[in-house]
């Protein structure tokens, strides 16, 4: 009897579970992830609530994902075209250009602005604080008779916006070319940084508007810049709701 019990224990100890055949009917191996679903999930845009918050309208700073086109007329540039794109509600970069008769090639210069603080109150009144750079485009001159003028403004900006109207103040510096003391030497010039500033205003919607600028550089020769412009702003990759083309100045 003891021998039979010992043989039974040895037989049970030698039994092992049969391996599972993955190809056998009824088997359920772990499913592999769907490559298309993984690709679609990775292609979804990153949601950043900060880029959907309410911000005041501005003549100087573009909202994130907005491309702004600008046509302006004034003095001394006569006219100029501009294109800018807004990034992260705080950075606007682009260029401005004009091409007048007598110029061998168009004048093209970069432009840009940085918004440090943008705040919109519950009553609809907002404030924009930042800085921007802009050049002044001059009509052509004869380079064999006189030097070609240049002027560049680097200005701090504070702007108040309410509804369809925004207006503000620019204060900073201008870097200009000035003629030397000798009135007979019209080819020589010197560079000098002087005080610059002015006022501006814009009336319009988030998609289109009309603006006015008045700037001055207070050097040995005062430079005055006046401009009236029309701008159109397209939503290229903005996170905010599209639209805003109709419905008045809302």
Whole-angstrom Cα distance, residue 91 to residue 84? 10
Which residues are paired to 95 by β-bridges?
Answer: 83, 110
Strand 66-75 and strand 223-235: pairing? antiparallel
**Six token digits for residue 137:** 């485009």
Distance CA 156, CA 19 (A): 76
The predicted model gives 215-226 an average pLDDT of 93
- pLDDT given at position 220: 84
pLDDT in tens, 1-27: 444 444 444 444 444 444 445 454 555
What's the chain's average pLDDT?
83
Helix, strand, coil percent content, the chain, rounded in steps of 5: 10, 50, 40
pTM, whole model, 2 decimals?
0.77
Kindly report, residue by residue over 189-206, the tens digit of the pLDDT: 788 899 999 999 999 998
Inter-residue contact 179 to 211 (CB < 8 Å): no
Residue ranges per structural domain of the chain? 50-235
pLDDT > 90 fraction of the chain, expressed in percent and rounded: 59
| Cis preceding linkage at 105, omega within 30 | no
Q: Which of 115-119, 131-135, 153-157, 240-244 has the lowest mean pLDDT?
A: 240-244
Kind of pairing between the strands at 107-120 and 78-87: unpaired
**Position of tokens 């870097």?**
175
Q: Is the dihedral of CA 61, 219, 78, 145 positive or negative?
A: negative
Q: What is the mean pLDDT of residues 146-174?
A: 94
Give the per-residue pLDDT at 92: 98
Q: For 55-108, how does the pLDDT look when each residue is reduced to its tens digit (9 = 90+)? A: 999 999 999 999 999 999 999 999 999 999 999 999 999 999 999 998 889 999
Pick the CATH number of 50-235 from 2.40.128, 3.30.1490, 3.40.50, 2.60.40: 2.40.128
């Amino acid at each position: 009897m003891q021998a039979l019990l010992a043989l039974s224990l040895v037989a049970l100890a030698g039994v092992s579970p049969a391996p599972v055949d993955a190809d056998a009917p009824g088997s359920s191996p772990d499913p592999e992830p769907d490559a298309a679903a993984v690709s679609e999930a990775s292609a979804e845009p990153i949601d950043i609530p900060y880029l959907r918050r309410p911000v005041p309208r501005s003549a100087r700073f573009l909202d994130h994902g907005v491309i702004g086109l600008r046509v302006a007329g004034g003095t001394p540039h006569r006219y100029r075209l501009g294109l800018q794109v807004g990034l992260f509600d705080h950075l606007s970069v682009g260029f401005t250009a004009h091409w007048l008769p007598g110029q061998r090639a168009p004048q093209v210069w970069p432009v840009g602005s940085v918004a440090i603080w943008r705040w919109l109150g519950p009553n609809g009144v907002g404030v924009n604080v930042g800085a921007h750079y802009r050049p002044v485009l001059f009509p052509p001159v004869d380079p064999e008779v006189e030097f070609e003028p240049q002027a560049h403004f680097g200005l701090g900006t504070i702007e108040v916006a309410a509804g369809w109207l925004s207006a503000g103040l620019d204060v900073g510096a201008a870097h200009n070319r000035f003629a030397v003391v000798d009135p007979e030497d019209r080819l020589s010039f010197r560079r000098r940084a002087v005080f610059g500033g002015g006022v501006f205003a814009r009336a319009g919607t988030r998609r289109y508007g009309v603006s006015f600028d008045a700037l001055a550089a207070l050097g040995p020769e005062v430079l005055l810049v006046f401009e009236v412009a029309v701008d159109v702003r397209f939503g290229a990759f903005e996170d905010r709701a599209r639209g805003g083309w109709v419905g008045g100045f809302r």
